[in-house]
Amino acid sequence: MSPGPDGAAHREALSRALVEEGDRLYALALRTTRDPDLARDAVQEAFAAALAKADGFRGDAHPATWLHRIVFNKSIDMLRRRRRYEPLPEQDPDQLTAEDERLAHAPAWARGPDEVLVGREARQALDQAMAELTPLQRAVFELREAEGRPTDEVAEILELSPGAVRVHLHRARLRLRVRLGEHFRGGRAHVGPGGHP
């Protein structure tokens, strides 16, 4: 049975979005899984699922937003299959915790992030710091900061409230600031057990 006119239009829009958003979709999967093989598998499964469900796409969201959501879900599924996704209870609430408040009072950066992130060593430090975030925090950070998507769109992609997106983004920024403190202050930062200064 061939798709009707609406189905064909949805398939065409989806195909365009797959081509236009492919690199960003892979970047989201990679940030979420922290594993290139898992990221590739997640994107491939997402593409297959999107194509299989193209006729059911109602057009309520932009095809790129819909694809980002599918990629995020497939990435989390991949992590669960490999038993890597075990979020800590205190990292999942949509409200700020005492730990978030403590991190907010950590020393600020002496140099701007653009100046510091030029070097390879700094990039490695950022990658290591990103690995310490939860998959959800990495996804929020990737979509909001790296891709520059509006908070409402990130909320739609990740099926969160805009407030929850802001909390997870804030939490990710705080943790990155602490983890990257050594580079941004231009000196040595002592990080104690559990990554706390």
- The pLDDT tens digits of the residues spanning 30-54 come to 888 888 998 999 999 988 888 787 7
Task: Please tell us whether the domain made up of 5-81 is placed in CATH 1.10.1740.10.
Answer: yes
pLDDT confidence of residue 54: 73
Which CATH number is 94-195 given? 1.10.10.10
CA distance 172 to 89: 15
pLDDT one digit per residue (tens) for the chain, 197 residues? 344 456 677 677 777 888 888 888 999 998 888 889 989 999 999 888 887 877 666 667 778 888 898 999 999 888 888 764 455 444 455 666 666 666 555 555 555 555 544 566 767 778 888 888 999 999 999 899 888 899 999 999 999 999 999 999 999 998 888 888 866 666 444 444 444 44
Predicted pLDDT of residue 154: 92
Distance CA(167)–CA(2), nearest Å, equals 45
Q: Where are the domains of the chain?
A: 5-81, 94-195
4 contacts: CB under 8 Å, gap ≥ 6: none
Contacts of 33 by beta carbon, 8 Å cutoff, 6+ apart: 39, 42, 75, 78, 79, 84, 135
Rounded CA-CA distance 136/77 in Å is 13
Query: What is the pTM (predicted TM-score) of this model?
Result: 0.58
